[in-house]
Amino acid sequence: MSARKIIIDTDPGQDDAVAILLALASPEVEVLGITAVAGNVPLPLTARNARIVCELAGRRDIRVFAGCDAPMSRGLVTAEHVHGKTGLDGPQLPDPTMPLQDTHAVDFIIDTLRAEAPGTITLCPIGPLTNIATAFRRAPDIVERVQEIVLMGGAYFEVGNITPAAEFNIYVDPEAAEIVFGAGAPITVMSLDVTHKVLVTGPRTEAFRAMGTEPGRMVAEWTDFFERFDKEKYGSDGAPLHDPCVIAWLIEPTLFSGRQINVEIETKGTFTQGMTVADWWGVSGRAPNAFFAGDVDADGFFRLLTERIARL
Ligand code: RIB
Ligand code: CA
């Protein structure tokens, strides 16, 4: 079976970095490009960090594009409290030497969807949805050409992680999320409901460190840093590896289960802006618009992730 062509839209972030490594280690997917967006840290850092990860994987051939530096219609909220000042805190990392592409990320997304055959490109947003929504707004014709959008964002049973009601990626740019969820392209949602079930416990972190490879060491040291926030807040025994769930879905979808439901985005609520109103119980009568993952085989997920990272 030929590799699935994907564009990863990202705001690295330690968990984004692991997702990118998983994609670059997996022959089931072909990364056509990586588009950086402002999110966990400002755009110059997310564009820097994406290239650091590509160089760590020995993939200086991957094209990295800088995208939107702020949400569509509100100020940027970042998450240095989770990811550190650089967004990849933990190990000391040299600046990348591979160049950033001159083309804007939104133009790359539009041009790629127009150039490739309809239904052959999967968009994998693992940060705020600003780049994707801006591309859809600027070029509505590309929406029907998208094979699938597989995104990390939102929550239902797990409620919010940046506010009591909202998950970070959706909260940063709710207007963008509203555009994406309302566009009509097939959407698969990896929300906190599944990502909070893939915790990098001590033994799982040690499995990365024991690889004796630079990528394995980096993943362990990123996890050592990244997990302190969630362990303190939730009392959990490890950090949730949010973004790699998107790539794992593409490689081994049977690791996940969920429902095709209606998901709307709250953009106006006093206390609920950025909330994904997921109609898990089918009470709204609104048409289903997304496959919302609800459960995951965590051991199977880490088996896959560990086996693939060890290949780098
Ligand atoms: O809420 C988790 C999401 O926000 C992840 O994508 C993480 O990288 C941050 O961007
Ligand atoms: Ca992210």
> Would you state the structure tokens that stand for residue 60, as one six-digit string?
């200086």
- pTM summary value: 0.98
Q: What is the mean pLDDT of residues 297-306?
A: 98
Q: Please state whether beta strands 29-36 and 64-66 pair in parallel, antiparallel, or not at all (unpaired).
A: parallel
Contact of 238 with 203, CB cutoff 8 Å: no
The residue whose two tokens read 């994904």 is: 276
The set of protein residues with a Cβ atom below 6 angstroms from ligand 1 is 11, 13, 15-16, 39-40, 126-127, 152, 161, 167-169, 242-243
Q: What is the mean pLDDT of residues 109-138?
A: 98
**Residue 83 bears catalytic tag:** no
Q: Is the pLDDT of residue 214 over 90?
A: yes
Q: Is the pLDDT of residue 92 over 90?
A: no
Ligand 1, atom nearest to 168 Cα: 1
When pLDDT is cut at 50, 70 and 90, the band that residue 237 belongs to is confident
Contact of 10 with 34, CB cutoff 8 Å: yes
Q: What is the mean pLDDT of residues 289-299?
A: 98
When pLDDT is cut at 50, 70 and 90, the band that residue 86 belongs to is very high
Of all ligands present, the nearest one to the C-alpha of 193 is 1
- Mean pLDDT value across the chain: 97
Give the 3-state secondary structure of 82-149: HHCCCCCCCCCCCCCCCCCCCCCHHHHHHHHHHHCCCCCEEEEECCCCHHHHHHHHHCHHHHHHEEEE
When pLDDT is cut at 50, 70 and 90, the band that residue 4 belongs to is very high
Query: Among 47-61, 123-137, 206-220, 222-236, where is mean pLDDT lowest?
Result: 222-236
Q: Is the pLDDT of residue 228 over 90?
A: no
Ligand 1, atom nearest to 240 Cα: 2
The neighbourhood of ligand 2, an ion, using CB within 5 A, equals 11, 13, 16, 126-127, 243
4-309, what's its fold?
Inosine-uridine Nucleoside N-ribohydrolase; Chain A (3.90.245)
Q: Give the Å distances, CA to CA, from 148 to 1, 7, 35, 46, 171.
A: 18, 11, 17, 24, 22
Q: How far apart are CA 30 and CA 13, in angstroms?
A: 21
The secondary structure element, H or E, covering residue 307 is helix 298-309
Show me where the domains of the chain are located.
4-309
For 10-47, give one letter per residue: b (16+ CB within 10 A) or e.
Answer: bbbbbbbbbbbbbbbbbeebebbbbbbbbbbbbbebbb
| Closest by Cα among 7, 298, 289, 306 to 154 | 289
pLDDT of 236: 82
The secondary structure element, H or E, covering residue 76 is none
Q: What is the mean pLDDT of residues 239-263?
A: 98
pLDDT of 230: 84
Q: Is the pLDDT of residue 37 over 90?
A: yes
Ligand 1 pocket mutation, candidates 8, 9, 20, 40, criterion most atoms within 8 A of CB:
40
Reported as a single tens digit per residue, the pLDDT across 186-211 is: 999 999 999 999 999 999 999 999 99
Q: Angle CA(244)–CA(199)–CA(85) in degrees, nearest 5?
A: 70
pLDDT of 226: 87
What percent of the chain is modeled with pLDDT above 90? 94
Q: What is the mean pLDDT of residues 59-85?
A: 96
Q: Is the pLDDT of residue 154 over 90?
A: yes
pLDDT of 1: 78
Q: How far apart are CA 271 and CA 303, in angstroms?
A: 39
8-state DSSP, 268: S
